[in-house]
Amino acid sequence: MPINYYIFLGVILFCIGVTGVLTRRNAIIIFMCIELMLNAVNLLLVAFSKMHHAIAAANQGAATTVGTEGQLFVFFIMVVAAAEVSVGLAIIVMMYRNTHSVDVNFLNRLKH
Amino acid sequence: MSITQILFWFLSILTIFSALMVITRKNPVYSVLWLIITFIAISGHYILLNAQFLAVVNVIVYAGAIMVLFLFVIMLMNLDADAEQTKNKWLQLAGVVAGGCLLLILVAALKGAENQAKTVEMGTGSIGLIENLGQVLFKQYILPFEISSVLFLSAMVGAVVIGKKN
Amino acid sequence: MNVLILSTLWGIVMMFGGLIFKKTGAATYFAVAGILLLLLGSVGDVSGVVITKSTFGGMLNFQGYTELFLTVVLVSVLFYFLLSGRDIEAVGPGGFDYYALVFFVITGITLCASYNNLLMLFLGIEILSIPLYILTGSDKKNLKSNEAALKYFLMGSFSTGIMLLGIAFIYGDSGRFDLGTANLPFGMMITTLPALTKAGLLLLLFAMAFKVSVAPFHFWTPDVYDGAPTVFTSFMATIVKAGGFIAFLKLFGEGYAKSEYTWGLAMLVLIVATLLIGNLTAVFQQSAKRMMAYSSIAQAGFMLMAVYAHNSFATDGLLVYTASYCLATIGVFAVLTRVKDHSYEGFNGLAKKEPLLALTMAICLLSLAGIPLTGGFLGKYYMLTALVKAGQGPYMLVFAVLCAAVSVYYYFRLIQAMYFKDGNPALSPVSTGLKTGMVGLTILIILLGVIPYDLLLNWQLFF
Amino acid sequence: MSQLVYLVPLFPLVGFLVIGLGRNLWSKTLTGLIGCATVLASFVVSVMIFNEVRTPGFTPVTVKLFDFIHFGTLNINFAFQVDQLSSLFLLIITGVGSLIHIYSTSYMHEEKPHHFARYFCYLNLFVFSMLLLVLGANYVIMFIGWEGVGLCSYLLIGFWFTNGDYNYAARKAFIMNRIGDLAFLIGIFWILAQFGSVNYQDVFSRAQGGVTTSVVTGITLLLFIGATGKSAQIPLYTWLPDAMAGPTPVSALIHAATMVTAGIYMIARSNVLYTLAPATEGVIAVIGLCTAILAASIAIQQNDIKKVLAYSTVSQLGYMFLGLGVGAYTGAVFHVMTHAFFKALLFLGAGSVIHAMGGEQDIRKMGGLRKFMPVTWITFLIGTIAIAGIPPFSGFFSKDEILSHAYAHNPVLYIIGLFGALMTAFYMFRLLAMTFLGQFRGTHEQEHHLHESPAAITIPLIVLAVLAAGAGFLGIPAYMHPDAHILEKFLAPVFAASTDMKPLAETPAGVEWALTGASVVLILICSAWALAKFAKFTGPGKEATGFAKILENKWYVDELYDAVIVRPINGLAGFLNKYVERLGLDGIVNGIGRLVQYSGRQIRLLQSGQAGTYILLMVIGMVVLFIVQLFI
Amino acid sequence: MLALLLILIPLVTGCVTFLLKQGSAAKIWSLLASVATLGVSIAAAVDKDASARTFKGDWLSDLGASFSLHIDGMGAILVLLTGISLVLVLVSTYHNTYKNPSVYYGLMLLSQAGLMGVFLAADGLLFYFFWELALIPVYFLSSGWGGERRIQVTFKFFIYTFVGSLIMLVGLLYLYALNPESSFALESLYRVHLTPDQQDILFWMFFVAFAIKMPIFPFHTWQPDTYEQSPTSVTMILSGVMVKMGLLGVIRWVVPIFPEAVHHFENVVIGLSVVGMVYASLIAFRQDDLKRMVAYSSIAHIGLMCAAVFSSSQIGFQGVLVQLFNHGINIIGLWIVIDAIEQRLGTRKMSELGGLATTAPSLAILLVIMSLANVALPLTNAFIGEFLMFDGLYQFNVWYMAFAGLSIILGAVYTLRMVQMVIYGKENALTSTMPDLKLNQKLMLAGITILIIVYGVYPEPLFRMTEETVHAIIAQLK
């Protein structure tokens, strides 16, 4: 598979996520869209790692471990994502407890 | 058209479609479900790329734990379809346009010639296997690994601070 | 290295301290002790007495400059604790927890100052941010605080996404995450960077710009600073911002320095936009707290010049600027927390009621406005010099100084309120500790403006 | 002796300081004593100097006191020059000055002590400045005196400062003088630039050394404009009549005898330059003549005794300038001298009258004073005859000299000049008649109080009367008796350069005799007519009409100036202050401030408070920056 | 060493003053301090040996700066002026009462220190530092102790001048960047060779700051308001000494460094100054407030000085340097009288005054003397300066001079109008009870009068003091 396919796939997913963030007003959905963005990145990273591995393998044999970092990075992204989710949902719930809404457009006590 | 290619195209279309569904569904629950499908599709990609470990983790952590958490919260708040009245059309349109522009710009920026030749190895390659990842992770990447524990600690403390009654 | 480890450990200590000590009164003492320990540790770093010399596979890279920068940050944290410790405890029941989070943030900053690998940068930024989301929302009953937390969180993680995409692109070209021009992909001519890296660098730029609240990525700042409990606003506006900038400088000043042409123009645009929006918007604010939020944006505009120029003047300047800016802002916020009414009128006649407090705050404001004989002036001066050395034309500089003149307008409105208007400001009790702390802080600011080399910059020579 | 010339101005200066600083200490008598003593002392010194100068073979002496402005190539000394001209003026100034000081001790006696002191203080200061003016060895020192006398006249005109009109008169005088002074200053700069020095010797020698006519014309014209200010010539004469607001002795000393002749002195002093600039001379002659006629015509219709004298002064000054214009420097100086005598005499006489009338100045309310104050009457009569130019009194000789030169220069000038002389005779005798002849027209208590003035007043009158009568014999014209013109011989060295360059046109003696005879006859007729017409003046008749009205209103010149100069400038100032300054310049400055505030208010609206909008803006920003960085 | 003392004495004593508790103590202390400073400045003015006149300390050397001071002729005369002025101010306002005096007097001394620094600094960065240091205390004084509109007015003044100085800072930076020796030292800046274009840009960057400070024509609008609203004591410092900062800036930091640009823009600047002279004079005689009137007349005088500087003739320079001192002395004298009137009658409106000559004769006499000095009557010190400056202007272009000369006439108009409205005429209900000057004011004014006359009759000392500077500038211009 040409790398460009993966690049474009990833970018498209990412942009869908962005569009979601821009168009929805439910905090949870927005947060989900962000997760979608992260996943797009993950996919991209894996693809790249495999690409580099392919290039390296062509030069120095299949035994090389070039490209491992990419996948490890994805692992760390997931870790961080998990942490973020815990905190994020905590905040959203707290918000909900106080205002019985998760609609970001109601959040304009702070402006100007 | 090899089987991998077919799978690739199928998964790609599935991913994009379900992602679109995620952002277009009124009812949050549906969105969550579609998102799960997206993640699973992405895991499929991982398998295609012979990154089993990530594929598994993705399913477990994301599609499993995280999404369940989401679902749980949504249920807890029992937000149903009409809970969210659509936001003003113009803003939505602007959002879509902006997203589209970003896509265009990125695509335009990335269609560099140097990537044409490069390909991704499908199926083969052992770097995605746990053994290899483990080796690198606990030798070279030990520090980030430890540090991420701090991350979790702070997340934990944070959740406590936020959650705890006073 | 010491700082990294110690801050982590002490964070955990504070965490458990919360379990042991029921009443939070002790928290501040613990925290101060911790900071002193960290300072000791950084001195150790300086003099080579380190817990481990390992760089963990080139993940970290401690240089004299970053060490010094960390020391500056730690000193400001010390002042922060001394001046606002009581207020931190007053925010809510979990005094120890807040401190724990603060220490974790310091861990994040240490990473931002010492990373040599985009992964560490990513983790650092996250460790920096996640506790801040919490601290912002720590005033749970206060809707503003909640709102601020949610906004901060959503936009913060959005920017994380951007950053990750950038990292992914860069990785796509170079196949590695560690920094340094040596690792620019395939050792090819810098002037023909591949498209992926170009896009990646820009995306990274945007993400970092968000973290240091540079226009047009600044929108979260006023709301969050306004909504968050004032103590934590002070923390975010100073120490965290400093961390963001050192990361920024490492990334674009060292890591991808030779590739200016792919991001220099964008950064100039950012600088101009930031100076303009920050200053103009601050002019019309009615609440001192919110004014400080915008002013911190404006100041970021100046700091960004260092990243743009990244020459010796820039690095020196960033040190001076950060030091004076952090100290001054901490001072202002420390007084702000004492004043009940945060509108300008709330400060009327402060000079009569609390002359010392007013004087020190006035000096802090003068420093922020960049009046000579204060560190603030020297910081701005360094930034301008750096720009000149980086070959910028006079118009950019004139624009910058005009913005500085505008900033004088809103800073001096506070001074006028304190000194020339009559009124009886409602104050919460002012401890002598606060006063002494303020005095020490002002003395430092002035010394920075008069003998920056003996006080600060020459220490680099020892590393 | 002439080395001690600095004593001459020194005494009045000392007097000024002593009186001024001790104005609350000394009694009136003491003050008066100091005042007169100092001036008399300098008079004595002047006489001694004059004697030294009179000795044949005397060469001008320059006494340098110290470097005034000295650096680089510029070197302006504080130096005095003693020669025939200055010594003559010294005599006039200190002589008339001391007489008037004596006169004043009695005239000003009603004033409170400190005002009395103030008066003498100013008067001494004036004498000091006037002496500086005439003694200065270069134009800068002359300029110092020039402005100094202006100041003193300002102070003295406004001496009774509680009266607003007087203050206005004083201001008017000072400002009109300043207009002239500006021209004078530019002239000095030009001289400095042209000759590299302002010392008389250097300037004149270098001027003869060769300088383009245009330059010297320009210089001389500028200096002359200065002179018109100080010596009340067209167009800057209107201040002098108003200056009569000051005490009468002041009018006598400053506005008749000395200060107003500064212009003549200056031109006579720079005669070399003027001889080199025929065009200027023409201008001076015409201006002088016009002034003489105009002022005389106005004087005919004035009823304030001092105003009449003031206009006659202006007119007489006009004659002097006419003399200068036709190159009769000696004649001009001669007339300065005689005029100093008889005009001072007339003023002091008028003062004595006013004194007796209890401050009344309107001649329509006088009349028949002859029998009440004989001394005043006699002396005043002598003065009148002298000024009218009836032989053998002094005025006749001096005026005749000027006119004859005018004739030699151009008969038209002579005709007009003569006409002016006739008017002079007419209005002077009108004045005399209305004041001293006929019936007394004042109130009864005025009549009751009428008395001859005390000795302090009459003695100066008598002295001056003698001088006014006899001084003429210093200048017996050549056609009457060859080389009997003492003054001419005396002054010859001063004007030698000019006369060498341009010898005066000669008129045959016969013609001279004829002209003189005719003029005398005509003058006598006019005088008689005036006497006859006004001796039986009974009281204010009908309102003057037509031409008379125009004359009574001084040709409406003041009104003209007010409409053409004063009001427009005031308007302009008001406009600038109201619109340009407040709205224009300050408006711009404040406008910028407002602009900043306004834009701040607008930009802050971006901060809508909605996270969605923020992220949208961020994305847009990203897109834009991408385009900027990668696709531009 | 003297140079250093000149700055240190007011600085240290000023800081000490803040700590004094009693107002009277602060008053006396600051008075003593100012007298000491005056002594040192006199010593500096007469002392001719170079070692005492220069001081070089090491400071921010890594930035190319240094703490180097030098007293040249112009410095000496301005230092003298500064020393004298503060004594005059403090003594003549001795009986006035100011709220929290210790702060007031402390700030006074600090501003003096700043001014001294500006006049002595021989290093660009140092110059800028003192430039601001002189501004800040005056700002606080004006808006702390001024009239009712003080806050906005002085704030406008502050921002206005601050903008100017910031632009000057940028200029300094550029000069520094263009200086191969990369140093701020004055003499090294004098050696820098700049292309005409660079000179033009830098010229304006510097000149705007100085033009605002002086101020000359279009930049002057802050001045009347500030003079009006500031306490008179501060106005004395402002108009007597501070405006000289601008002129010194032009003479020391612009003319020698950018000679070509000066030559290039001389017509613009002189044009502005000359227009400003007439403009200000015209506006002056529409003013009813004494302070505003004097403010505008001061604008006219400063305009003449600026024009004379740019006529770049030796005589002009000499005149300016002399006038720097004379103008300061005279205008302070004028202010003292005005302050006396305001303190006694509580008004500055000419229309409400009158007849003071009857009720307060010595005040009247001194006012007249000051006014005469203000219109540059011969044998007053102002005449020397104006004569030379006009001559310099004449040598540059006679028409400029002639037009500028109108201000001689207009000056007489508004000054005499003021004299007449204030002291002549009949006294009214307000002024009939007017007490005469107090002894301290009489003394100060007498001193000023003596200076006016002495330097008006015998200006040689001033010339001797300043001619070396003139030669230096002329040499630099060649």
Average confidence (pLDDT) over D244-260: 90
Q: Where does the pLDDT of residue C189 fall: very low under 50, low under 70, confident under 90, or very high at 90 and above?
A: very low
pLDDT digits (tens, 9 = 90+) for D294-331: 999 999 988 899 999 999 999 999 999 999 999 889 99
- Domain assignment of residue D231, given as a range: 162-270
CB atoms within 10 A of CB C305: 30
Q: Per the domain annotation, does E40 fall within a domain?
A: no
Query: Given phi > 0 = left and psi -120 to 50 = alpha, else beta, which region is E458?
Result: beta
Mean of all residue pLDDT scores within chain C: 90
Q: Is the pLDDT of residue E421 over 60?
A: yes
Q: Is the pLDDT of residue B84 over 60?
A: no
What pLDDT is stored for residue B166 in this prediction? 63
- In angstroms, rounded to a whole number, what is the distance separating the alpha carbons of residues C406 and D596? 8
Q: Which of C322, C448, C278 is nearest to C375 (CA)?
A: C448
CA distances from D313 to D241, D244, D309 (A): 9, 11, 6
Domain boundary among D250, D270, D290: D270
Q: Decide: D244 and D304 in contact? Cβ < 8 Å.
A: yes
Q: What angle (nearest 5°) sits at the alpha carbon of residue C386, between those of residues C381 and C389?
A: 125
Asked whether residue D536 falls in the same domain as residue D578, the answer is no
* Residues 6+ positions from E101 with CB-CB distance below 8 Å: E23, E24, E26, E27
- For the question of an ipTM over 0.90, the answer is yes
Asked whether residue D462 falls in the same domain as residue D483, the answer is yes
H/E stretch holding C205: helix C195-211
Option in A34, A41, A94 nearest C146 (CB): A94
Instruction: Count structural domains, chain D.
Output: 4
* Residues 6+ positions from D315 with CB-CB distance below 8 Å: D291, D292, D293, D294, D295, D296, D299, D420, D423, D424
Question: Best mutation site among C352, C378, C397 for testing chain E: the one with the most E CBs within 10 Å?
Answer: C397
Asked whether the beta carbons of residue E167 and residue C401 sit closer than 8 angstroms, the reply is: yes
Three-state DSSP at D66 gives: strand
Nearest CA in chain B to D616: B95
Option in A67, A68, A79 nearest B148 (CB): A79
**Which has the minimum average pLDDT: B79-93, C271-285, D181-195?**
B79-93
What pLDDT is stored for residue C462 in this prediction? 66
Q: Decide: C184 and C174 in contact? Cβ < 8 Å.
A: yes
Asked whether residue D370 falls in the same domain as residue D476, the answer is yes
What pLDDT is stored for residue C187 in this prediction? 41
Chain B residues with CB under 8 Å of A9 CB are 12, 15-16
Cβ within 8 Å of C, D 323-342 = none
Whether the CB of D622 is below 8 Å from some CB of chain B: the reply is yes
Cβ within 8 Å of A, B 84-123 = 84, 87, 91-92, 94-96, 98-100, 102-103, 106-107, 110-111, 115-116, 118-122
pLDDT digits (tens, 9 = 90+) for A46-97: 999 999 998 888 888 878 888 898 999 999 999 999 999 999 999 999 988 8
How distant is the Cα of C462 from the closest Cα of chain B, in angstroms?
Answer: 28
- In angstroms, rounded to a whole number, what is the distance separating the alpha carbons of residues B41 and B57? 13
Q: Per the domain annotation, does D552 fall within a domain?
A: no
Chain A residues with CB under 8 Å of C158 CB are 21, 34, 37
CB atoms within 10 A of CB D194: 17
What pLDDT is stored for residue B86 in this prediction? 58
Whether the CB of D525 is below 8 Å from some CB of chain E: the reply is no
Option in B109, B142, B158 nearest C134 (CB): B158
- Domain assignment of residue E316, given as a range: 261-478
Asked whether residue D486 falls in the same domain as residue D582, the answer is no
- In angstroms, rounded to a whole number, what is the distance separating the alpha carbons of residues D385 and D391? 8
Q: Is the pLDDT of residue E330 over 90?
A: yes
Chain B residues with CB under 8 Å of C100 CB are 154, 157
Asked whether residue D292 falls in the same domain as residue D394, the answer is yes
Asked whether the beta carbons of residue B98 and residue D612 sit closer than 8 angstroms, the reply is: no
Asked whether residue D378 falls in the same domain as residue D485, the answer is yes
Asked whether residue D259 falls in the same domain as residue D366, the answer is no
CB atoms within 10 A of CB D619: 26
- Do E and C have ≥3 inter-chain CB pairs under 8 A? yes
Q: Per the domain annotation, does D554 fall within a domain?
A: no
Fill in the DSSP letter of residue E140: H
pLDDT digits (tens, 9 = 90+) for D81-101: 999 999 999 999 999 999 999
Nearest CA in chain B to D623: B102
Asked whether the beta carbons of residue A3 and residue B118 sit closer than 8 angstroms, the reply is: yes
- Do B and D have ≥3 inter-chain CB pairs under 8 A? yes
CB atoms within 10 A of CB D230: 28
Nearest CA in chain C to A52: C175
What structural domains does chain A harbor?
A: 3-103 (1.10.287.3510)
- In angstroms, rounded to a whole number, what is the distance separating the alpha carbons of residues D26 and D118? 11
Cβ within 8 Å of E, D 159-198 = 161-162, 164, 167-168, 170-171, 174-175, 178-179, 181-182, 185-186, 189-190, 192-193
| Residue type (1 letter), D296 | A
Option in C104, C120, C140 nearest B153 (CB): C104
Query: Given phi > 0 = left and psi -120 to 50 = alpha, else beta, which region is C310?
Result: left
Q: Decide: C11 and C107 in contact? Cβ < 8 Å.
A: yes
Q: Decide: C163 and C122 in contact? Cβ < 8 Å.
A: yes
Chain D residues with CB under 8 Å of E390 CB are 185, 189
Asked whether residue D388 falls in the same domain as residue D535, the answer is yes
- In angstroms, rounded to a whole number, what is the distance separating the alpha carbons of residues B140 and B144? 9
Whether the CB of A29 is below 8 Å from some CB of chain B: the reply is yes
Q: Per the domain annotation, does D448 fall within a domain?
A: yes
* Residues 6+ positions from A12 with CB-CB distance below 8 Å: A40, B16, B103
- In angstroms, rounded to a whole number, what is the distance separating the alpha carbons of residues C299 and C312? 20
Asked whether the beta carbons of residue A69 and residue C161 sit closer than 8 angstroms, the reply is: no
State what percent of residues in chain D have pLDDT above 90: 61
Q: Which of C203, C393, C397, C383 is nearest to C300 (CA)?
A: C383
C15-22 CB contacts, 8 Å cutoff, 24+ apart: C15/B153, C15/B157, C15/C96, C15/C97, C15/C100, C17/C96, C17/C99, C18/C94, C18/C95, C18/C96, C18/C97, C18/C100, C21/C96
- In angstroms, rounded to a whole number, what is the distance separating the alpha carbons of residues C81 and C231? 10
- Do A and B have ≥3 inter-chain CB pairs under 8 A? yes
Strand pairing partners for E121? E69
Q: Where does the pLDDT of residue C182 fall: very low under 50, low under 70, confident under 90, or very high at 90 and above?
A: very low
Nearest CA in chain E to C382: E63
Asked whether the beta carbons of residue E173 and residue C397 sit closer than 8 angstroms, the reply is: yes
pLDDT digits (tens, 9 = 90+) for E357-398: 888 889 999 999 999 999 999 999 999 999 999 999 999 999
Asked whether the beta carbons of residue C216 and residue D621 sit closer than 8 angstroms, the reply is: yes
Nearest CA in chain C to A108: C147
Whether the CB of B111 is below 8 Å from some CB of chain D: the reply is no
pLDDT digits (tens, 9 = 90+) for A9-55: 999 999 999 999 999 888 999 999 999 999 999 999 999 999 999 88
Q: Is the pLDDT of residue B85 over 70?
A: no
**Which has the minimum average pLDDT: D141-145, D369-373, E101-105?**
D369-373
Show the tokens assigned to D150: 């202006």
Show the tokens assigned to B114: 């140097």
H/E stretch holding C174: helix C143-174
What pLDDT is stored for residue E130 in this prediction? 94
Q: Decide: A40 and A14 in contact? Cβ < 8 Å.
A: yes
Whether the CB of B93 is below 8 Å from some CB of chain C: the reply is no
Whether the CB of E394 is below 8 Å from some CB of chain D: the reply is yes
Q: Per the domain annotation, does E463 fall within a domain?
A: yes
Option in D612, D613, D619 nearest B102 (CB): D619
Chain E residues with CB under 8 Å of D189 CB are 390-391, 394-395, 398, 401
| Residue type (1 letter), E402 | A
Instruction: Count structural domains, chain E.
Output: 1
Return the residue matching tokens 């920003």.
Answer: D621
Option in D69, D148, D186 nearest E405 (CB): D186
Fill in the DSSP letter of residue E286: T
Q: Per the domain annotation, does E324 fall within a domain?
A: yes
Chain D residues with CB under 8 Å of A31 CB are none
Chain D residues with CB under 8 Å of C199 CB are 626, 630
pLDDT digits (tens, 9 = 90+) for B15-56: 999 999 999 988 888 999 999 999 999 999 999 999 999 999
How distant is the Cα of D423 from the closest Cα of chain E, in angstroms?
Answer: 35
Mean of all residue pLDDT scores within chain B: 87
Asked whether residue D527 falls in the same domain as residue D435, the answer is yes
Q: Per the domain annotation, does E453 fall within a domain?
A: yes
Q: Which of D276, D255, D239 is nearest to D348 (CA)?
A: D255
Whether the CB of C127 is below 8 Å from some CB of chain B: the reply is yes
pLDDT digits (tens, 9 = 90+) for C50-64: 888 777 778 888 888
Query: Would the CA dihedral through C75, C78, C84, C88 be positive or negative?
Result: positive
Asked whether residue D382 falls in the same domain as residue D326, the answer is yes
pLDDT digits (tens, 9 = 90+) for D111-141: 888 899 999 999 999 999 999 999 999 999 9
Q: Decide: C128 and C108 in contact? Cβ < 8 Å.
A: yes
What pLDDT is stored for residue C58 in this prediction? 80
Return the residue matching tokens 């002097």.
Answer: D320
Q: Provide Rg for chain C, Cα atoms.
A: 21
- In angstroms, rounded to a whole number, what is the distance separating the alpha carbons of residues C149 and C137? 5
Q: Per the domain annotation, does E454 fall within a domain?
A: yes
Average confidence (pLDDT) over D605-623: 91
Three-state DSSP at C430 gives: coil
Q: Per the domain annotation, does E282 fall within a domain?
A: yes
Option in B143, B155, B166 nearest C56 (CB): B143
- In angstroms, rounded to a whole number, what is the distance separating the alpha carbons of residues D206 and D211? 8
What pLDDT is stored for residue D119 in this prediction? 93
Chain D residues with CB under 8 Å of E420 CB are 158, 167-168, 171
Return the residue matching tokens 């990513």.
Answer: C122
Q: Where does the pLDDT of residue D546 fall: very low under 50, low under 70, confident under 90, or very high at 90 and above?
A: confident
Whether the CB of B151 is below 8 Å from some CB of chain D: the reply is no
For the question of whether the overall pTM of this predicted structure is more than 0.90, the answer is: yes
pLDDT digits (tens, 9 = 90+) for C306-330: 999 988 899 999 999 999 999 999 9
How distant is the Cα of E229 from the closest Cα of chain C, in angstroms?
Answer: 14
Nearest CA in chain D to C291: D604
Instruction: Please count the CA atoms within 13 angstroms of the CA of D182 that sit on its side-chain side.
Output: 20
What pLDDT is stored for residue C188 in this prediction? 44
Chain E residues with CB under 8 Å of C372 CB are 128-129, 132-133
Asked whether residue D423 falls in the same domain as residue D520, the answer is yes
pLDDT digits (tens, 9 = 90+) for E291-328: 999 999 999 999 999 999 999 889 999 999 999 999 99
Q: Per the domain annotation, does E353 fall within a domain?
A: yes
Q: Per the domain annotation, does E340 fall within a domain?
A: yes
Q: Per the domain annotation, does D614 fall within a domain?
A: yes
Q: Is the pLDDT of residue E7 over 80?
A: yes
- Do E and B have ≥3 inter-chain CB pairs under 8 A? no
pLDDT digits (tens, 9 = 90+) for D9-68: 999 999 999 999 888 888 889 999 999 999 999 999 999 999 999 888 888 899 999 999
Phi/psi at C117 (nearest 5 deg)?
-155, 135
Q: Which of E369, E363, E371 is nearest to E339 (CA)?
A: E363
Q: Per the domain annotation, does D550 fall within a domain?
A: no
Show the tokens assigned to E228: 């009006």
Asked whether residue D363 falls in the same domain as residue D258, the answer is no
Q: Per the domain annotation, does D438 fall within a domain?
A: yes
CA distances from E201 to C398, C447, D504, E205, E257 (A): 12, 34, 64, 6, 12
